[in-house]
Chains A and B, each alone.
Chain A
């Protein structure tokens, strides 16, 4: 009689937090920061605000059709890192970024690169909904118009409608497209901003705490939308809500004082993180 039994190999046994602690708190990022099908590849990224080093040699991929969430206590550098991905930090005086960040294999910090099309390719949704003080229609139409994405009014109308549909807002606003975007509720405004981002056909959408100003129902709608958008876009999201990171993302990256401490499958990070700092943070023991 022969019986095969599942055997726990040495590799299969997770390192305990204490094992890792002995190796040094910042002995490099724990977990594989690469993905097979990367849309963006960041390697050895450092960010300085004047003399202060805000991001310390961070390497991380953003895969195609995935949501990667970045979590960590306030001031850990997660938003700073996110803003490197479409050169938003260029706007901050004294901010310096080193290392390489590639979008589809092209270095985005190349001096010859025009940031305007880059920011269309890598769109951003902010913490507070920031619609233009214009009509709902114009909020969406503005981007495609300046990027010359449509040839005539009919095409533009169709693009506005499809963007609003993708953002799950069409049914709520189709009869009042000429009314101001600022007249919508907070959750609707945020979806309008997402529709605005989608309208210029981005490859990557960056979201910086997109739900922190919203109520739970509006938050749920945005989360549902993120899940749908994942089929066509790469999404990197910074969130203070660990439950949100657990719900919406496939991979999670934990930042601490400018270091990328651990990155891994979201399920693994939230059930058996390998680094003590990650565990302490997600269990609410500090942060």
Chain B
């Protein structure tokens, strides 16, 4: 874990940094709750809960504005350098990722509302929602862990997020910006990725073959799968920022498997 809490000579600077950090972590907690509620609304067919998620999106946006303001103030007043500069830049990027993850939660809530309209206000079939349930578990764990890594500036936790992110790829067939040469090979082989997102779509399509009226529902399910995969991707971005804070190394667009090996080896 990297030390970022040792006090500055100007103690007010510490308070301002810690306030910006607190705002981001609180925003993260709210986004996590939004994701949980949106998927729960979908599973239980709870329109009230879905509307609550949609309404709360504005609060998430307001959080981002507050964070931006705190960061503007910090840069203008303190001219941060080194780890403080990296920390502040990272917080700004994380706030952006969280805001977009919040948007995705609201999109899931809208899908829930549409699905309820299509199913005459009855929850969609558990079979159709099967893949969503598995993906939701992985996505929320990723987001939670990335926020935990940020809170502690813990490289190991951030690396765990990259490792678990590959599970997300298996489940959703989602290719993030960190797609590796290996994953391209998998795509060519049509093996693991076929087991993931394509399989989820094929499974969903079987419902369409059985009953063409289910096309709308199935499309909504695909939207939700994609939204959850995107949220997982934002968690990966947050983990990248944790590495940037701790190591001063920008690891975006890099092969994460090699990165994990390099950083873990270095530690060992």
**Residue B181 contacts which of A3, A10, A12, A286 (CB distance < 8 angstroms)?**
A3
Interface class of chain B by DSSP: helix
Contact of B262 among A2, A9, A273, A286 (CB under 8 A): A9
**B9-A284 in contact (CB<8A):** yes
A79 to chain B, nearest CB (A): 22
How big is the A interface, by class?
A: 20 to 34
Q: Is B43 an interface residue (CB 8 A)?
A: no
Minimum CB–CB distance from A178 to chain B (whole Å) comes to 43
B8 in contact (CB, < 8 A): yes
Contact A283 B83 (CB under 8 A): yes
Given contacts A6-B253, A7-B254, A13-B263, contact A18 B3 (CB under 8 A): yes
- CA–CA, A243 to B77, complex, Å? 13
A246 at the interface (CB under 8 A from B): yes
Query: Which of A3, A10, A18 contacts B266, CB < 8 Å?
Result: A10
Given A3-B184, A16-B2, A270-B82, residue A285 in contact with residue B248 (CB < 8 A): no
**A 1-45 to B, binary, CB cutoff 8 A, 1 in contact else 0:** 111111111101110111000000000000000000000000000
With A7-B258, A285-B9 already in contact, the answer to whether A13 and B266 are too (CB < 8 A) is yes
Does B85 belong to the interface (CB within 8 Å)? yes
Q: Does B84 contact A (CB under 8 A)?
A: yes
Query: Is chain A's interface secondary structure helix, strand, loop, or mixed overall?
Result: loop
Counting CB contacts under 8 A, is B56 at the interface? no
A283 in complex: contacting residue of B84, B181, B259, CB < 8 Å: B84
Q: How far is B265's CA from A269's CA once the two chains are assembled, in angstroms? A: 26
Interface assignment of B120: CB less than 8 Å from any CB of chain A: no
Q: Is A60 an interface residue (CB 8 A)?
A: no
- A242 interfacial by beta-carbon distance below 8 Å: yes
A2 to B35, CA, bound (A): 36
For chain B, residues 219 to 265, give those with C-beta under 8 angstroms from any C-beta of chain A: 246-249, 251, 253-255, 258-259, 262-263, 265
**Contact yes or no, B247 A14, CB < 8 A:** yes
The answer on a CB contact under 8 Å between B251 and A8 is yes
Query: Are A283 and B8 in contact (CB-based, < 8 A)?
Result: yes
Partner of B81 from the list A2, A5, A242 (CB cut-off 8 Å) is A242
CB contact under 8 A between A287 and B254, given known A8-B249, A13-B262, A271-B85: no
Whether a CB of chain B sits under 8 angstroms from the CB of A282 is: yes
- What's the minimum C-beta distance from B179 to chain A, rounded to whole angstroms? 8
Residue in B86, B185, B188 whose CB lies within 8 Å of A271: B86
Cα(A270)–Cα(B79), bound, Å: 11
Chain A, residues 251-276, CB within 8 Å of chain B (1/0): the string is 00000000000000000001111000
- B residues 108-141 near A (Cβ < 8 Å) are none
Q: Smallest CB–CB gap between B18 and chain A, Å?
A: 14
The answer to whether A287 touches B9 (Cβ under 8 A) is: yes
Task: Please give the distance in Å from A72's CB to the nearest CB on chain B.
Answer: 14
Complex Cα distance A3/B253, Å? 12
Query: Shortest CB–CB separation between residue A152 and chain B, in angstroms?
Result: 51
- Convert A33-67 into 0s and 1s, putting 1 for each residue whose CB lies closer than 8 angstroms to a CB of B: 00000000000000000000000000000000000
- Among residues of B, the one whose C-beta sits closest to the C-beta of A243 is B79
Q: Could you list 4 further interchain pairs (A-B, Cβ under 8 angstroms) beyond the known A6-B255, A8-B262, A13-B263?
A: A14-B248, A18-B3, A270-B81, A285-B9
Can you name 19 A-B pairs with beta carbons within 8 Å?
A1-B188, A3-B184, A5-B181, A5-B254, A5-B258, A6-B254, A9-B262, A10-B265, A10-B266, A12-B249, A243-B79, A270-B81, A270-B82, A272-B86, A283-B81, A284-B9, A285-B8, A285-B9, A287-B9
Enumerate the 7 nearest inter-chain pairs by beta-carbon distance, A residue then B residue, closest first: A272-B248, A5-B255, A282-B81, A14-B248, A3-B181, A284-B8, A283-B84
